[in-house]
Chains A and B, each alone.
Chain A
Amino acid sequence: MYKQIQLNGITKTYGKQNVKTVALNDISIRLHKNNLTSIVGSSGSGKSTLLSIVGTLEKPTKGTVYYDEKNISEIRANQLSELRNIHIGFIFQQFHLLPALTAIENVLAPLFHRKTSYNKNTKAKELLELVGLSDKLHALPSQLSGGQQQRVAIARALIAEPDWILADEPTGNLDTETSEKIIALLMEIKQQTACGILLVTHDIALSRQADRIIEMKDGQIIADTRINNNLVQTND
């Protein structure tokens, strides 16, 4: 149970000397589990990169990531997988369901070969019910609409009862109405499971529903707004 994720002087660059892209430029930030934090910014500003680093999918070029007091860079790859598996749930813009597996199998994929304190199958059914797909348990991704697929992906992100959900433009491929439903679902989940949510989005309206809005530009955070206590902090 990690309550807080802290980034210290994170820099991420891609490519070699002559074609170097600085995706993230010396970012320091602290994320709290009881917040729904949204990240906004123009395309290429480094949102996805930030999410990857927070979610341990990537290692930063410089700087350190702390999960509470634990320094992530000191952890070996296998333990990182473990950490992701137990504590982080991902939702991607392109859903990334496994095409050969049914909805329920997709939901169960992260727990494959893992023992849990609860019944995996019941849990998966409950989650699919939660996302409103109790009638589509055995449908293949190709038989589902985009919104439905994303809901399966959400259920999958929740199956391991993570502390954090990291969502990269989960509504990017969906229409406004469905998008609103998905966000509502995420809010509901947050209520129910008390997990921290990090949401990358383009949609300003959606971001307004968050507790905290981080605005990025050119790999830097240009604004960090906490909505519920109306306090605006700016990081330069």
Chain B
Amino acid sequence: MIKWIVSHWKRDTGKFALLVIGALLISSGLSILIGLSESSKGTIVNSLEKKWNASYDIVVRPSGTKSETEKDGLIDPNYLSGLQGGISFDDLDKIKEIDDVEIAAPISILGFSSIIEIFGEVHFPESGIYKITTNYVENDGVRDYSDGYTAYYGFDIGLNHEDMDIISRYGLFASTEENLELHGSFTFLVAGIDPAEEAQLVGLDEAVDGSRYFSDSDKVHSINETSQGDEELEELGLDFNYKRVTAPVIMSNFSFVNNYQEAILEKLDLETDLESEEDIKEFLTELEQNGKEDYLDTFETEPVETVKATSEELHENLLEQSSLGAYRDLILYEKPSPLTYKAVPSPFPERWNIAYEIVPPANQTVNIPGEKNGDISDYTYYTKYRELAFYDDPSLSRAPRLTPDFLDYYDPRQLSISSDPVTELPMETYRTPTAKHMLDASNSPVNPPKQVTATSNPFGYLMQSPTMLTTMEAARKIMGEEAISAVRIKVSGVNSPGPESQSKLEAVAQEIRSETGLEADITLGSSPQPVLIKIPSVDDLDSLGWVEQPWIKTGESIAIYDEAVLGYSGIIICLMAVAIMYVFTTNLIAFLSRKKEFAVLKAVGWRNSKLRHLLLTESMLIGGFVSFLTFIVLLILRQENPESLSIWRICLIICFILLIYFVGALYPSYLVHNISPHQVMKQGEVSAKGARFGRTNGVVSLARNNLISRWTRNLVSVLAISLPTALLILFLFVSFQLNGVMYTSWLGEYVALEIGSMHYYAIILSLIIAIMTTAELIWQNVLERTREIALFKALGWGNPRIYMMVLLEGAILGLISGIVGIFLSIGILSYLYGDSLSFGQWLWLVLINVGIPVVVGLFSAVFPSIRAVNIEPYRGLE
């Protein structure tokens, strides 16, 4: 039988060549895909290891500061944000004396200070009543937190701006000057460090802008300022008692927070133009009687101008003013305050086995006893994820003052810590900790995950890194003996994680614990563990959903977590489906084109089983050839990367290939039954039963009817084109709209759909196979219509019309595939991505989705159309 089949192929070399090309495409596609997918995994691991590299080996914290989470062996990388001193200078000295402690760098988180800055000015164009809306908007990468207020100004209406009563009487400020300066506040973190140790640990001295780093000649002094005992002040009703510390500072020239300050100036549309004094008087009376601001709120306004300043501009301004010595009186106000976590069930335990929820303290309001000055009464705008902590109650009368002696700027990006600017490493003191917004409040994946950054809110869920650094001496003056929040330790002779360094570090940590009674944790070589943290609803803000942060898993060496990757299996499935369709089609076509032959064989007494056998053997021969090729290619690939490609896996692929060739031959061998040997008695061709829809009156309707009358087989090519097209759309969407990775939940698991160039190779391959599939089908259609076409030619149809007819057939097939593809890809997208597609994105999808398959269809029709044109007219007359 094999001889029979081979002789068949030998005599129809064109068809055989086509078979070989298809076989090669399928085998190379599968083997390259399988080979490539393995090697691409290594890169993720390397980059993560590089990033996970702390600048210190051990961290020492005050005793009793271990949070709930550390029972699981997990340290919040943002641990400094909750540490308000607790380690004494004695302890620090003890630590320094321990052998092998090379660097012991203390840090004291002093707290937050705010300054009032001028961020811009507005101009009143003419006399009238104006409304100024000032907004302070902060963004943490997910949403805006805004705080604002409205004020009314009367410009040039004869009011005395020095008369303070105006505000309480009319609800507006008076201005006689055309320009009005706008003030905004800027909150930043102040920390104390040991200049010498810090220079050793992270090279802080190298990161300063000019040449002026801390030096021994810098003086720190403090005085107590108090009203107590001063009768004159007490008589005035003043009551203050604070420490003023004058100390050298350096300031970060980089702002990690993202906010802006904005003011909108609008003119009120009054009925009167306030020209005459009577008008003004009348209006003011009206104002006084009708409810001041509330009355002013009822007027229509006309925009005049908008002024905006970003956090970079504000920061720059701060630095400029600081270097000029403009700030003499920085009030240290908010203290660092810890977050409280509680363990909660993870929404996707496969991906994150540990999840916490932040527990915000209940009902926190700021009491401002006897406070008259309205400036600071807005403290309730804080999003209070932490317990409120202040140096003093909001009257500020006892909060310490810092008079900065500005030395220089430093650039936190030039410190000798992990050089990756978007480092995942959260433990560094000089980088604002980040997290990734992974799931929204309803637990659906966020696409793409957003980088979450700290805001300037002292009680937010992420604390900003220090902007102002001063010395430990200053910290001691401000906070006293136990001013140190943490000590970061580098042990001599320890460079990389490993069993030796581990035991050495363990010994040092143990000594610190026993000498000082403090907590000491080894950070070097600890494993990062992605932890999912729920940011709960707080005050009137909704829950943010879940963020992911790499936490420190103590006592465990580097272990990289796997992320289930969906994209790879997606393309393999697509390619396999297209391969199956191709094999199915070639088998079907082979069968259809030899239908008459089979009828003859049946007539001369061949059994059905023999014909079935013939078809199966033929298909398995090709399948065997394809699997052989694939096997060779995979073996070669395996040579380069032996451990990744198991023999078992190769065998699985080979089995799959044989299976599809087997399955592909099943349908045609089933059809063998339906061949009637009687057909050989007929004079004409074996003609398809025509289903006709509508009248045939032109090339278009002819092509359409040709397609409809053979709709079952055309369905195959529609599927073959539309499946890769749909995936292509999906891939393009993910690549361009989501930066290549779509996070999604799939069968209850959290997975990433990662798109790389490999995916596009696979799609192109699939489309080529689709072209071949379609080309074979149209070829067969043309073949079956040889007489018809010959007749058209005999009737005087020109070649262009014949071309048109066949090409149109391809184009229509493509168009239908495109429409099917649209539904497919939109279905997949909305299943994986939810329903958050915009109209523009839809349009974009639809356009490509129609374009590509039409081109594919046209391509497929090229060879069949040439064949159709070459049909001799006399064939119709035979």
A→B interface (CB under 8 Å):
48-49, 51-52, 55, 57-58, 77-78, 81-86, 88-90, 92-94, 96, 98-101, 105, 109-110, 112-113, 140, 156, 160, 168
Contacts and interface: CB of A to CB of B under 8 A. Distances in A.
B681 A52 contact: yes
Most chain B CB neighbours (cut-off 10 Å) among A49, A57, A110, A160: A57
Contacts of A49: 681
A81 B1 contact: no
B8 interface: yes
A98 B600 contact: yes
B9 to A, nearest CB: 9
A168 B605 contact: no
A58 B606 contact: no
Interface in B660-694: 676-678, 680-683
B7 A105 contact: yes
Given A92-B681, A96-B596, A109-B601, A81 B7 contact: no
B7 A86 contact: no
Interface size class of B (residues with CB under 8 A): 20 to 34
B600 A160 contact: no
Given A58-B676, A96-B596, A112-B4, A84 B683 contact: no
Contact of A86 (B602, B605, B676): B605
Nearest to B600: A96
A156 B605 CA distance: 12
Nearest to B604: A110
B12 interface: yes
B11 interface: yes
B604 A90 contact: yes
B608 interface: yes
Contacts of A140: 11
B221 interface: no
Given A100-B7, A100-B11, A92 B680 contact: yes
Given A51-B681, A55-B603, A93-B683, 12 more contacts: A52-B681, A57-B678, A57-B681, A78-B608, A84-B605, A85-B604, A88-B605, A90-B604, A94-B680, A98-B601, A99-B11, A168-B681
Mostly, the B contact residues are helix
B649 interface: no
Interface of B: 1, 4, 7-8, 11-12, 596-597, 600-610, 676-678, 680-683
A81 B608 contact: yes
Q: Nearest 9 CB-CB pairs, A to B?
A: A85-B605, A110-B604, A84-B605, A48-B681, A100-B11, A57-B677, A58-B678, A57-B678, A81-B607
A118 to B, nearest CB: 17
Contacts of B608: 77-78, 81
A113 B7 contact: no
A21 to B, nearest CB: 14
Nearest to A97: B600
Contact of A96 (B4, B678, B680): B680
Given A100-B8, A100-B11, A78 B607 contact: yes
Contacts of A48: 681-682
A105 to B, nearest CB: 7
Contact of B678 (A52, A81, A94): A52
B607 to A, nearest CB: 4
Given A48-B681, A105-B7, A57 B676 contact: yes
Contacts of A168: 681
Most chain B CB neighbours (cut-off 10 Å) among A48, A98, A156: A98
A91 to B, nearest CB: 11
Contacts of A82: 605, 607
A57 B603 contact: yes
A94 B605 contact: no
Nearest to B15: A100
Contacts of B682: 48
A86 B610 CA distance: 16
Contact of B604 (A58, A99, A101, A109): A109
A85 B607 CA distance: 9
A81 B602 contact: yes
B604 A156 contact: yes
A113 B1 contact: yes
16 contacts: A48-B682, A51-B681, A52-B678, A58-B678, A78-B607, A81-B605, A82-B605, A85-B605, A93-B683, A96-B600, A100-B7, A100-B8, A112-B606, A113-B610, A156-B604, A168-B681
Contacts of A96: 596, 600, 603, 680
A6 B493 CA distance: 109
Contact of A110 (B7, B605, B676, B678): B605
Nearest to B611: A81
Contacts of B1: 113
Most chain A CB neighbours (cut-off 10 Å) among B605, B608, B683: B605
A168 B677 CA distance: 14
Contacts of A98: 597, 600-601
Contacts of A81: 602, 605-608
A101 B680 CA distance: 18
Contact of B7 (A88, A101, A156): A101
B605 A100 contact: no
B75 to A, nearest CB: 77
B691 to A, nearest CB: 15
Contacts of A52: 678, 681
A55 to B, nearest CB: 8
Contacts of A94: 680, 683
B652 to A, nearest CB: 34
Given A105-B7, A140-B11, A85 B606 contact: yes
Contacts of A109: 601, 604
Contacts of B7: 100-101, 105
A168 B7 CA distance: 30
